[in-house]
Amino acid sequence: MQAHAAIGQAGFAEAEGQAILAEINPDHKFLNWVHQSSLSYNWGVLLTADANLSELAAHLRQSLTVIDENDSEVLCRFYDPDILPVFWQSLSVSELQTFAGPVIQWAARQPSEDVYWLSDPVERGQQSAWQTLKPLWLRLTEQHIQAMRPIYHRHRVQQAVVELNQSMTWRLMYLANDVVVQRIDETVQAIYRWHEAPSP
């Protein structure tokens, strides 16, 4: 049994950070909206899977939390269309098979009109059936972190702009202009270089 589904982040404050999974038909109006809407590209991703919705939800739930390089549990927003293509490419073949489980293929709209990222169909090798995931199955390695660096960087720049604006509101200043964002970007890059430089 094949299921076509959409997974994305809830758009209301009480559910911030929570993913919503919904089954959709290939001719569903939602897909037409996805194709035509340019209001937001970050609502979520589409997928096709060899499982019913409850099996799919149980599987994907196990990938919402991973272990980072500091042995901390962190949220993995793989359902973000900015993150999924990079995260997908950072995984080894066995990790891809484990992460995908019943998912046959992923699709995510990119921030450009009518451009989509499609994962390669998942090859399960000699295993015809997908395996149930255990919680915290993925520990991020240097390979994952290096691949995800552009996303971390963009997030840190955005976070710095938000925090600067919050700290400057008493002066009635708004700092999110291109020059300020560029300077913050350069500063974050300089911090990366300093952090990676060998100790004297």
Report for 82-91, 116-125, 132-141, 190-199: range of highest mean pLDDT: 82-91
Give the pLDDT confidence score for residue 196 in this predicted structure.
60
**For residue 197, pLDDT beyond 60:** no
| Residue ranges of domains in the chain | 3-140, 146-196
Give the pLDDT confidence score for residue 199 in this predicted structure.
43
Give the pLDDT confidence score for residue 168 in this predicted structure.
64
Secondary structure class of 100 (helix, strand, coil): helix
9-66 per-position pLDDT tens digit: 655 444 455 678 888 877 777 777 666 664 455 678 888 898 888 888 889 988 988 9
Give the pLDDT confidence score for residue 171 in this predicted structure.
58
Place of tokens 């901390």: 72
Secondary structure class of 81 (helix, strand, coil): coil
Contact in structure between 48 and 104 (CB atoms under 8 Å)? yes
pLDDT-derived band at 80 (thresholds 50, 70, 90) equals: confident
Give the pLDDT confidence score for residue 12 in this predicted structure.
43
Q: Greater confidence, 32 or 88? A: 88
Secondary structure class of 156 (helix, strand, coil): helix
Contact in structure between 63 and 99 (CB atoms under 8 Å)? yes
Give the pLDDT confidence score for residue 194 in this predicted structure.
65
Give the pLDDT confidence score for residue 148 in this predicted structure.
79
133-183 per-position pLDDT tens digit: 777 888 888 888 888 777 766 666 777 777 776 666 655 555 557 777 777
106-122 per-position pLDDT tens digit: 988 776 656 778 888 87
Half-sphere exposure for 72 (CA within 13 Å, toward CB): 4
Q: How far is CA 50 from CA 64, 86, 90, 116, 122, in A?
A: 20, 24, 24, 22, 11
**For residue 130, pLDDT beyond 70:** no
Sign of CA dihedral 30, 32, 35, 37: negative
Average pLDDT, the chain: 75
**Residue 2, φ and ψ in degrees, nearest 5:** -100, 140
Distance CA 126, CA 139 (A): 25
Q: Greater confidence, 47 or 69? A: 47
